[in-house]
């Protein structure tokens, strides 16, 4: 891209000289570290292809080859990702070395080798992830309520979030390797059940938040976004205890496909950014909406929406759904109490949150990114369904609710870009969108059944 400037030539009167400055090209602006990072990724990808290529089909080789330039671009686009990838790779390789300490890998070493038992096995790393996410949420909120976004405690929240993401990715890589230690026919990328995708959701949402935190140079929204991450971690821990969900299981036949490696991560980019946008919308509403609207919208209406179906099902409904409905109501009560507390403390909270224009713009960009990836995921899912079940679309409950989510955010973006929708209306819409998305993600598993019921509650 060229930039032009004008100035008077020295020693002349009224003579204007125009100079053209050329901005450096994309590749010429790369630093030495950028090129070393790209070289390391290329070597790593080539080594993986050489070592494991005979286990892959043509599609999987294509995914591996295409992922190298993709991750190079990501590292060049946002340089903190370079360090993240290097650290995660080093710790993951260390975990593999510890599993193969005497030349033969055994899954039982996760209980005997110190480094695996307490840090680098999949379960240990994911437990560290959970603790660090909880701690980051606490530090973000203390920082926001004490001195606002500039508080040193908020900086600690950012650092803890980075560490949590590192442990989540190390746990994911270790789990991937552990699945192959259990048997080549069991090994699979860990995105196949609710336990694994909740880990995926947690680190993806947190990583997108950290990018926006750096982009807008504000840490004041960390407490809000990390609330939904901590809620997902809380569910993950409950699910682990209640269902022993951390145990690695063989894939069902429909999931034994390379499509899973593309469809599920793309889907959870959408889920993560939609959740991020909704939590930013909550911060926006606390600052912009009236006290009365907040009490009605955040406390009274949700309780009515939850209680009325419960009463109706008690009178006319299917008795098998009672436990799920009771469970939903019990989970919602603490959330409603927390919303009430936020409304009471809103003047204190609002002192630290950024300007409404910043939150509105962040909300829009998060939804735009999520919608793009969710659209890609939906198309990939249709192609996968055609291969697995012989049809692109079957109106399965999960497919139907995925379409509802897509239409909801398509309408939101249309109203913003075409009609100029802004302010509290768009924020309320974004917050309601999280409810719709949550039902598509979890509610379908709780109340409905279908071809996608791989992670029942």
Q: What is the mean pLDDT of residues 405-421?
A: 96
Contact 95, 120 (CB under 8 A): yes
CA 236, CA 203: separation in Å to the nearest integer? Answer: 13
The pLDDT score that the predictor gives to residue 251 is 87
Axis crossing angle, helix 194-216 with helix 122-146, rounded to the nearest 10: 40
Buried-state track 182-217, b at ≥16 Cβ within 10 A, e below 16: eeeeebbbbbbbbbbbbbbbbbbbbbbbbbbbeebe
Q: What is the mean pLDDT of residues 420-425?
A: 93
The pLDDT score that the predictor gives to residue 373 is 97
The pLDDT score that the predictor gives to residue 302 is 79
pLDDT band at residue 256 under the 50/70/90 scheme: confident
* pLDDT tens for each residue of 260-306: 989 999 999 999 999 999 999 999 999 999 999 999 998 887 777 66
**pTM as predicted:** 0.90
CA 251, CA 248: separation in Å to the nearest integer? Answer: 9
Residue with tokens 């030349």: 103
Greatest Cα-to-Cα distance within the chain, rounded to the nearest angstrom: 94
Token output for 355: 């300007």
- Return phi, psi of residue 254, to 5°: -65, -25
Average pLDDT of the chain to the nearest whole number: 87
Q: Is the pLDDT of residue 144 over 80?
A: yes
User: Of the candidates 145, 306, 329, which has an alpha carbon nearest to the alpha carbon of residue 224?
Assistant: 145
Question: CA 231: distance to chain centroid?
Answer: 13
Those residues whose C-beta lies under 8 Å from the C-beta of residue 8, and which sit 6 or more positions away, are 14, 15, 16, 17
Those residues whose C-beta lies under 8 Å from the C-beta of residue 223, and which sit 6 or more positions away, are 137, 140, 141, 143, 144, 157
* pLDDT tens for each residue of 191-244: 988 999 999 999 999 999 999 999 999 999 999 999 999 999 999 998 888 888
Axis crossing angle, helix 423-438 with helix 260-288, rounded to the nearest 10: 140
């Amino acid at each position: 891209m060229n930039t032009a400037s004008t100035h008077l030539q020295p020693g002349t009167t009224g003579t204007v000289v125009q100079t053209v400055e050329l901005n450096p090209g994309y590749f010429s602006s790369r630093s030495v570290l950028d090129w070393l990072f790209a070289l390391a990724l290329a070597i790593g990808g080539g080594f993986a292809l050489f070592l494991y290529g005979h286990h892959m089909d043509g599609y999987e080789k294509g995914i591996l080859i295409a992922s190298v330039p993709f991750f190079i671009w990501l590292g060049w686009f946002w340089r903190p990702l370079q360090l993240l990838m290097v650290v995660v790779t080093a710790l993951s390789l260390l975990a593999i070395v510890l599993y193969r300490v005497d030349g033969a890998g055994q899954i039982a070493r996760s209980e005997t080798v110190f480094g695996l038992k307490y840090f680098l096995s999949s379960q240990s790393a994911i437990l560290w992830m959970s603790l660090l996410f909880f701690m980051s949420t606490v530090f973000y909120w203390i920082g926001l309520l004490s001195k606002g976004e500039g508080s040193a405690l908020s900086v600690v929240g950012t650092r803890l979030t980075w560490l949590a993401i590192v442990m989540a990715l190390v746990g994911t890589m270790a789990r991937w390797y552990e699945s192959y230690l259990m048997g080549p026919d069991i090994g699979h990328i860990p995105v196949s059940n609710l336990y694994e995708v909740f880990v995926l959701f947690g680190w993806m949402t947190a990583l997108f938040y950290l990018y926006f935190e750096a982009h807008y140079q504000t840490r004041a929204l960390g407490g809000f976004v990390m609330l939904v991450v901590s809620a997902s971690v809380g569910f993950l821990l409950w699910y682990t205890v209640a269902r022993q969900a951390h145990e690695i299981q063989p894939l069902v036949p429909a999931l034994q496909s390379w499509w899973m490696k593309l469809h599920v991560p793309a889907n959870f980019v959408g889920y993560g950014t939609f959740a991020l946008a909704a939590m930013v919308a909550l911060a926006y509403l606390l600052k912009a909406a009236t006290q009365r609207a907040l009490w009605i919208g955040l406390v009274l209406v949700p309780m009515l929406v939850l209680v009325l179906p419960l009463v109706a099902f008690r009178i006319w409904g299917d008795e098998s759904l009672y436990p799920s409905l009771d469970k939903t109501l019990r989970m919602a009560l603490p959330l409603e109490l927390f919303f009430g507390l936020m409304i009471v403390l809103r003047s204190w909270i609002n002192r630290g949150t950024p300007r409404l224009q910043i939150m509105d713009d962040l909300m829009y960009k998060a939804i735009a990114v999520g919608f793009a990836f969710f659209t890609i995921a939906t198309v990939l899912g249709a192609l996968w369904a055609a291969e697995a079940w012989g049809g692109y679309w079957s109106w399965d409950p999960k497919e139907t609710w995925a379409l509802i989510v897509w239409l909801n955010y398509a309408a939101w973006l249309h109203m913003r870009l075409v009609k100029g929708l802004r302010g509290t209306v768009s924020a309320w819409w974004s917050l309601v969108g999280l409810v719709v998305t949550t039902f598509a993600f979890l509610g379908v598993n709780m109340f409905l059944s279908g071809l996608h019921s791989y992670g029942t509650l």
